[in-house]
């Protein structure tokens, strides 16, 4: 009854303020529920492996610099493979891409288990396998992020993105907590094996998901495949200059990667040098990085969806940076757990706001490429930040390094909000974020050629379904191809609604 009243209110144009009961709206859609369940189990295994790798590297070397090297090798391939991952996400059915990449990731985890189970303690072998996992992740992430838009209709996208970030952070809590106990009781090889087994969950979910039949559009090849992949990617990157809201997201995610995210890879050093705890309590430190996001998720996905994205991002970034400083400044294990939980809540607000802004503002024809660019910026900043902070910790001390990083993160937040002129554009909606901006239409390639996507053609539209005003290439003026894409999107939304 309440849902019917809410729909009637929307129909007559009355604003409906989101509440806590709206926090789980995306779970009304079977496909998203399946994907969420499989992902949280699989990602828990991934986080179990991550903390096991960090623990083993630090035990073998005793060096924060080598922790930075391990993180660098895992993240760097994602940067270089971003253009290919984005092209795959925009060219082929995203579910098909995910099935292949998740299968490869399971194979890599099995090899890592086999190597370690033989009693090998070779740091070189471990680092090679970590780098291979980074290669697979680079091909996987753009399709993973873009796939969310195929599981729910547009009006549930913000909620779905937030819940997707929540499952990642729930896994970030569960994986390290279980991983710490496994490390203490069974050793690193058991953690690697459990991660390999966990991929059964997400692969099974992908098989069970049922999507509306893909609508193909003709594809016009321009140049050799390498030129199309690299050229189209850079064309998409240039197109983001017309999206000030997306540029604000890029600045924020670089700051996050350089100054905030490296802390997760330094936790093993904090556990050993600052808090002097065993493997199990080290696992609880990692779990705290996800606990706060689980607590905050209902508020961000529910009432938070009615808050301006610019305001939500500002509060989240300030809370995150402040929590980093508080964590690094304390020698109390209990307070450190609390500070990490607060940082986790802030991280969820940041990640969900940035991802949602991009998903809502970008045209469907370049969605995978722009999301790949977003991930590339984060994963380029993270290894650089890891190397810088790992080296600085050797010279100036672990706590002092993270305190300075947290203060710099807050300073960047203030600049971005008050002086950059971009922050307010986070609240723009539709593929043409500001009047006069131009971007490719959902049915066109960046160079004007017609492209094809094996996936759902959800052309980006402003709320209410009308084309955005302004721009040299408006949706309403681009002829039958765009109108056909719009009709396909509306048909897709109706099909998704029927699956509730």
Percent of residues, the chain, with pLDDT higher than 70: 76
- Whether 371 contacts 222, CB under 8 Å: no
Check pLDDT > 70 for residue 58.
yes
Kindly state whether residue 255 falls inside one of the protein's structural domains: yes
| Cα–Cα dist 134/114, whole Å | 19
Left, alpha or beta for 465 (phi > 0: left; psi -120 to 50: alpha)? left
Q: What is the pLDDT of residues 78-102, one digit of tens each?
A: 778 878 888 888 888 889 999 999 9
Q: pLDDT band for 53, please (50, 70, 90 cuts).
A: confident
| Of 106 and 469, more confident | 106
Check pLDDT > 70 for residue 74.
yes
Q: What is the pLDDT of residues 97-118, one digit of tens each?
A: 999 999 999 999 999 898 888 8
What is the structure's pLDDT at 182? 87
| Cα–Cα dist 350/409, whole Å | 13
Give the CA distances from residue 149 to residues 77, 93, 95, 327, in Å, rounded to whole numbers and listed in that order: 25, 13, 12, 36
Kindly state whether residue 172 falls inside one of the protein's structural domains: yes
What is the structure's pLDDT at 464? 36
> CA-CA-CA-CA torsion for 58, 64, 66, 71, nearest 10 degrees?
90
What is the structure's pLDDT at 254? 93
Q: What is the pLDDT of residues 143-175, one digit of tens each?
A: 888 888 888 887 777 788 878 877 887 787 788
Kindly state whether residue 345 falls inside one of the protein's structural domains: yes
**Total of domains in the chain:** 1
Check pLDDT > 70 for residue 72.
yes
- Find how far residue 37's CA is from the centre of its chain: 17
For the chain, give the number of residues.
500
Mean pLDDT of 119-142: 86
Kindly state whether residue 473 falls inside one of the protein's structural domains: no
| Cα–Cα dist 477/50, whole Å | 50
Kindly state whether residue 432 falls inside one of the protein's structural domains: no
Which of 5-19, 266-280, 403-417 has the weakest average pLDDT?
5-19
| Cα–Cα dist 170/261, whole Å | 17
Kindly state whether residue 489 falls inside one of the protein's structural domains: no
- Beta-bridge partner residues of 444: 450
- Token pair recorded at residue 481: 């191809």
213: burial class by Cβ within 10 Å (0-12, 13-18, 19+)? Answer: exposed
Q: pLDDT band for 326, please (50, 70, 90 cuts).
A: very high
Mean pLDDT of 270-287: 85
What is the structure's pLDDT at 64? 74
- Token pair recorded at residue 411: 């300073």
Check pLDDT > 80 for residue 121.
no
Check pLDDT > 50 for residue 437.
no
488: burial class by Cβ within 10 Å (0-12, 13-18, 19+)? Answer: buried
Residue 78 sits in a domain of what CATH number?
A: 1.20.1250.20
Kindly state whether residue 448 falls inside one of the protein's structural domains: no
Kindly state whether residue 11 falls inside one of the protein's structural domains: no
| Cα–Cα dist 471/242, whole Å | 10
Q: What is the pLDDT of residues 24-39, one digit of tens each?
A: 778 888 999 999 999 9
Check pLDDT > 80 for residue 234.
no
The H helix count followed by the E strand count for the chain is 16, 0
Q: Which domain holds residue 145?
A: 23-427
What is the structure's pLDDT at 441? 35
Strands (E), 117-227: none
Q: What is the pLDDT of residues 171-228, one digit of tens each?
A: 877 887 788 888 888 888 888 999 999 999 999 999 999 887 554 333 444 444 545 6
């Amino acid at each position: 009854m309440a849902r019917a009243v809410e729909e009637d209110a929307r129909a007559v144009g009355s604003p409906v303020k989101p509440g806590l009961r709206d926090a789980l709206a995306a779970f009304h859609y079977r496909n998203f529920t399946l994907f969420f369940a499989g992902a949280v189990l699989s990602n828990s295994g991934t986080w179990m492996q991550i903390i096991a790798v960090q623990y083993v590297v630090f035990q073998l070397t005793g060096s924060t610099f080598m922790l930075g090297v391990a993180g660098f090798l895992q993240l760097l391939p994602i940067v270089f493979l971003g253009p290919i991952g984005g092209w795959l996400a925009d060219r082929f059915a995203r579910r098909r891409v995910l099935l292949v990449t998740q299968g490869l990731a399971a194979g890599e985890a099995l090899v890592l288990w086999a190597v370690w189970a033989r009693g090998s303690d070779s740091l070189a072998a471990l680092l090679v396998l970590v780098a291979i996992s980074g290669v697979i992740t680079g091909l996987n992430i753009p399709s993973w992020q873009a796939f969310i838009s195929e599981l729910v209709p547009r009006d549930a996208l913000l909620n779905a993105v937030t819940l997707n970030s929540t499952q990642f952070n729930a896994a970030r809590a569960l994986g390290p907590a279980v991983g710490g106990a496994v490390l203490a009781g069974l050793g690193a090889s058991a953690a690697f094996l459990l991660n390999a087994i966990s991929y059964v969950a997400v692969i099974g979910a992908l098989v069970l998901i049922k999507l509306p039949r893909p609508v193909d559009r003709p594809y016009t090849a321009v140049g050799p495949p390498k030129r199309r992949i690299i050229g189209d990617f850079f064309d998409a990157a240039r197109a983001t200059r017309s999206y000030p809201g997306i540029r604000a997201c890029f600045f924020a995610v670089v700051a996050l990667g350089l100054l905030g995210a490296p802390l997760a890879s330094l936790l093993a050093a904090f556990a050993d040098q600052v808090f002097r705890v065993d493997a199990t309590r080290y696992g609880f430190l990692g779990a705290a990085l996800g606990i706060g996001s689980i607590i905050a998720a209902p508020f961000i996905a529910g009432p938070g969806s009615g808050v301006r994205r610019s305001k939500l991002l500002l509060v989240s970034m300030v809370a995150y940076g402040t929590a980093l400083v508080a964590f690094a400044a304390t020698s109390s294990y209990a307070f450190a757990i609390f500070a990490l939980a607060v940082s986790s809540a802030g991280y969820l607000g940041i990640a969900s706001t940035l991802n949602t802004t991009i998903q809502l503002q970008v045209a469907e024809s370049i969605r995978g490429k722009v999301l790949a660019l977003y991930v590339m910026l984060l994963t380029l900043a993270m290894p650089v930040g890891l190397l810088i902070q790992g080296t600085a910790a050797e010279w100036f001390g672990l706590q002092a390094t993270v305190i300075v990083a947290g203060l710099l993160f807050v300073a960047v937040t203030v600049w971005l909000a008050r002086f950059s002129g971009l922050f307010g554009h986070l609240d723009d909606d539709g593929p043409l974020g500001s009047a006069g901006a131009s971007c490719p239409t959902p049915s066109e390639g960046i160079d004007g050629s017609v492209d094809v996507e094996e996936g759902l053609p959800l052309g980006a539209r402003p709320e209410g379904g009308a084309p955005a005003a302004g721009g040299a290439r408006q949706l309403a003026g681009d002829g039958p191809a765009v109108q056909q894409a719009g009709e396909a999107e509306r048909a897709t939304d109706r099909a998704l609604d029927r699956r509730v």
